Each structure stands twice: as C-alpha cells, then as structure tokens.
Structure 1
Amino acid sequence: MLIIRYETAGAVHVGVAEDDGTVRRLGVPSLGLLLALPTDEIRSVVERSGPAEDGAVKRLPPVDGQTEVWASGVTYVRSRAARREESQAPDVYSLVYDAERPELFFKSAAWRVCGDGEPIGIRPDSAVDVPEPELALVLNATGRIVGYTVCDDVSSRSIEGENPLYLPQAKVYAGSCALGPGIRPAWEVPDATALGIGVVVRRGSGVAFEGTTSTSLLHRTLDDLAAYLFRSMHFPEGAILSTGTGLVPALDFTLHEGDVVEITVDGVGTLTNPVVAATPAAFAWLAAR
C-alpha cells in the first residue's frame, strides 16, 4: 500500500492506496499530523483505514503542513565524482564524502513540492540542469524512519559548479522538488539498503538518458543521515529527507523543456514529471493549491 494525499469532491484527504488502486480514507486530517505521531500509532492509524472512496480521486504530493523537505549530498561515489567534474572548487566534495558529518541542505517547503504527473522546472539562467533520482526517507517527529518515497532533486549543475556557495540557487527554486507517488510504509520494505533505483529521460519518441543504481552503494547509513538532520532541529510534523543520488549524467547532458523524467525506486513506486522552464508564472499554481 501507499499512504497518499488526494482530492475528491473538492476536499483534500489522507488515505491509503491499495495495490489494486482502491483508495481508503484515514482518520487524520493531514499527513503532517500523522507524522507527528509515534511510529506504532502511525501504523495503527494506517491499518484502520475506512471504506473505499467511490468517486474520482486526484493524487497530491505526499507532504503538507509544517513538514519540510531536506536533502543529502555526495552520498554516492558517482555523486562525488560528478561534483568534482563540474566544480571550480572540487576538493570540498571529496572532503565531505569522507567526513563524519554529511552534507544536508534544505530543499523545499511542503507547499512548493510537485507531485506525480505534475511539471518540474529547469532554471532559464542555467546551462546544465539534471534530474537527481533519490530514495527519500519519511521521518516522524522523533526522527524515526516510518516510510519511503521517491524524490527528484532537480539541480543546476552549472550554477553549483561555478561556486559551491551558489548551492541554494542550484537546488531551491520553482519546480526543483518532486515527490511521489505516495509513501510506502517502512514496515512493508524489508531492506531499504538494497533497493534498485532507475531513471529514464524521454525526449520526443526517444530516450535522452537512462541509468540504474542501488541504495546498496550509499556511503552512509540511512539512520545516520536521519540522526544528523535531527541533531539540532525540531520537526513537529516530521520531515522528508532525500538521501542523495548515484545517477548523474555526463556534463554534456541537460534537461530540455518537453522532456519527461521517470524515476523508479523498487518497492516504493514510480515518479513521472514533464519538464518546463522554471519561471515564477509557470509555478504560481503551487501557492494557490
């Protein structure tokens, strides 16, 4: 099953989507309030889902309220190599890869997150933009891993490569964060350290880029990443923490408007997003949702 946010009859609800597509409503008003609960209570709420919805359902991004999205960097060998290739200050990436403390950075407020099927953005002032396919941890208010979702940590390689201090502009802008299609409960994932991750970028009738990796190649443990995020931060409605990417195209690849990015994490789901230019007007709908 997947824990989802969805809209039906003009109202937004939290529910579970069964493998056969059946959607059942949960007894909580928001995902944030669900993540405010202890792990055992979250499981109890999820397993007490109600009757099936009988109307049309539109799925929404699996994050709301005060829940924040954060991300990890340089957690795979390929990520370290790619950052060194693009950067004018390559040593910082080798240093953080080998350091005890991981690179963690803020990625998105809940209301700015794009969902499955919704557009993602590439910056008009960037020469090289790439998808970053990642497993994302869903953490409750005490920092426990209670689920997993798929993240596209869309990034400007050219802006970050110019100067590491430009990381926020390379990583945080309209359409730069997509999550979905829902949250796979942690108790349904036997081993999150051995999940295949794949990405396909479709361009017209062809494939512009594709690749696969595995969470088994992560340089850091999932619990360690979560623990560092919660060291000096309080998340009353939990947090989403993306765990970094092991799939980075060569520097001669960049996303184009009209591309479609498909990211699959085995056992979690597939996230699909078309690509548009990240102008303020193109993503004004996020604030009105």
Structure 2
Amino acid sequence: MRVIRYLNKEKQPRLAAVNDRQEVCDLPDVDFLGLVERAKRLGKTPLAIVEEHFAAAAVRNSLDELTLLVPIEAKEVWACGVTYERSKEARNYEATSGKLDVATFYDKVYEATRPELFLKSTAERTVGPEVPVYLRSDSRWQIPEPELGLVLDGDGTILGYTIGNDMSCRDIEGENPLYLPQAKIWKHSCAIGPAIRLAETVTSAYDFQIVCRIYREEKLAFAEQAPVSQLKRTLDELVAYLVKENIVFPGTVLLTGTCIVPPNEFTLQSGDRVEIEIPGIGLLRNPVESQS
C-alpha cells in the first residue's frame, strides 16, 4: 500500500492511497503526517486506517489520470554518502583524477563506524515527479544519484519508503571535499516521489531493487540496476546516527546512498530525462533543465 499526493480538479493538493491493483482512494488527511497522527490518536497503524477507507470507498480514481506531487513536503532531506562500494569507487576516482590504486579518506569513511551524513535539501529545493531537476551552471560533470529514501518520524521510526534523486556535481566534490554543500545543494537539486510505501507493508527493505534509466533525445543513454542489499551499513544504523544529538522533524526524508553511477565520461545535459524506479514504490521521472 502506497500514499500519494496529487492535484484535484480544483488544483488543490489531495492525499490518497494506492493499492496493489493501482486503485486510488482519497484520504481526508491534509498530508502524510496528518494520516500518521490520526493513526496514533486512534491507536491504529496508518495501514489499518487506509484499508478502512478502501473498504468504505464507493468511488476510486484512476492513477494514470492524476497529476502527482511530491508525496511529502519534508522540512529537511538528509543524505548518506559512501554507503555502497560502487559509490566509494566513484568518489575515489573523482578525488584522485582516476588513480584508483590510491587510498583516500573515502576508503576511511566506507570502513568507519560513523557514516557520512549531510543535509541535502529543504522543502523549497525539492521537487516531485515530472518537475525538472536543474543543472548547476558552474559544473561540467553532473549526474543523478538514485537512492532509497526513508520517511522518518521525529524519533527516527521509519514510517515509509520512497525514491530519491540526489543530483550531484562530481567535479565540484572531486576538487575539494569541503565543497560538498555546493556539489549537492542548489535549486531543484533533489527529487522525491512518486509515492510513500507504508513501512508496515515491507517485509525487508533490502529486497528492493533500484533501477536508473537516462534518456537523451528519446534514446536510452544509460541503464543500470542494483539491489539495496549491497548496502555496507544497515538502515537502522544510518537512522541512529541521524537522530543522535539532533533535531529530526517528523516527515524528514533520509536518502541512503547510491549503488548506481553512470560511466565516468557521462554528464547530464539539458533535455535529458531521468527515470528512477523501485518496484513496489513506483517510478520517479524528471526532465533535466538548465536554470534560466
């Protein structure tokens, strides 16, 4: 069972649930956190609340006809770095200009007890499905980073799972690791969506497969997939470090790192289209544009 936000005929945001048959049932809550809080007040799970609405609903919308929005307007989106071996290899390539036999601090981060965590985005910088992600004008080497996202409650409880695109500038980060905020954070540098898969419906998040496709002039320019099970760390470990000595807003999204990296000679161009799919959650599609 998944939760989405969409624009109704009056151009107002609505919350709804989607079942495995792709049937859509409107929910009365203002947003996803409203659903979570209502479930808490009633002593039920969000899944139980949603199933009750499906049982009572007389009319269901068609998912294909809806204009989807970012499923949660998270005050903060955090991200994890170097959580997959593939990511470590890519960071080492950037930092050493291709000298892969040279050990770097990224090797230390990959093996360390403490994970790399950084603030990725805010609600104002984050976009949903079909909305353009932007390229930085001062970077010549930019890629998407497809990631599993955790939707968290204020105490770190995983409420659900979503898809994230952590847009990154490989040349800026490779020039100096202290430039990480500029390599990661700018307008429309993060996409989230298209849905939140309720945590109660997921037996193991490590069974998820992440798929990334990039189209250029309507032709497939890159495609790869990898399992979340390749994570070096556990999801609980990543969450534990995020909430440690920190203020975590309910609805915070934690992106858990990327296991898919396009070839080193590849960079995104304006007009490209990025598709990130996690079966069981959905397909996050975003065009790529230069900032005007």
| TM-score for both structures, normalised by structure 2 | 0.88
Amino acid at match of 2:87: S
The answer to whether 1:103 aligns with 2:104 is no
Query: Offset of 1:44 from its aligned partner?
Result: 3.6
Amino acid at match of 1:69: V
Query: Offset of 1:30 from its aligned partner?
Result: 2.0
Question: What's the secondary structure of 1:227's corresponding residue?
Answer: helix
Q: Hey, what does 1:132 align to over in structure 2?
A: 145
Q: Hey, what does 1:254 align to over in structure 2?
A: 267
Q: Hey, what does 1:74 align to over in structure 2?
A: 82
Amino acid at match of 1:43: L
Q: Hey, what does 1:167 align to over in structure 2?
A: 180
CA distance in 1, matches of 2:228, 2:61: 38
Q: Hey, what does 1:4 align to over in structure 2?
A: 4
CA distance in 2, matches of 1:200, 1:54: 28
Q: Hey, what does 2:225 align to over in structure 1?
A: 212
Q: Per the alignment, do residues 43 and 84 of structure 1 end up closer, same or farther by CA in structure 2, a change over 3 Å counting?
A: same
Q: Which has the larger radius of gyration?
A: 2
The answer to whether 1:46 aligns with 2:50 is yes
Query: Offset of 1:35 from its aligned partner?
Result: 4.8
CA distance in 1, matches of 2:114, 2:44: 30
The answer as to whether partners of 1:84 and 1:91 remain within 8 angstroms in 2 is yes
Query: 1:154-193 maps to which residues of 2 (within 5 A)?
Result: 154-193=167-206
Amino acid at match of 2:145: E
Query: Offset of 1:75 from its aligned partner?
Result: 0.3
The answer to whether 1:268 aligns with 2:272 is no
Q: Hey, what does 1:25 align to over in structure 2?
A: 26
CA distance in 2, matches of 1:172, 1:78: 22
Aligned counterpart in structure 1 of residue 125 of structure 2, from 84, 89, 112: 112
Q: Per the alignment, do residues 100 and 35 of structure 1 end up closer, same or farther by CA in structure 2, a change over 3 Å counting?
A: farther
The answer as to whether partners of 2:23 and 2:61 remain within 8 angstroms in 1 is no
The answer as to whether partners of 2:72 and 2:251 remain within 8 angstroms in 1 is no
| TM-score for both structures, normalised by structure 1 | 0.89
Q: Per the alignment, do residues 206 and 195 of structure 1 end up closer, same or farther by CA in structure 2, a change over 3 Å counting?
A: same
Specify every segment of 5 or more residues in structure 1 that has no aligned partner in the other structure, as ranges: 283-289
Q: Hey, what does 1:14 align to over in structure 2?
A: 15
Specify every segment of 5 or more residues in structure 2 that has no aligned partner in the other structure, as ranges: 98-102
Q: Per the alignment, do residues 34 and 234 of structure 1 end up closer, same or farther by CA in structure 2, a change over 3 Å counting?
A: farther
C-alpha RMSD of the superposition: 2.2
Aligned counterpart in structure 1 of residue 213 of structure 2, from 200, 207, 229: 200
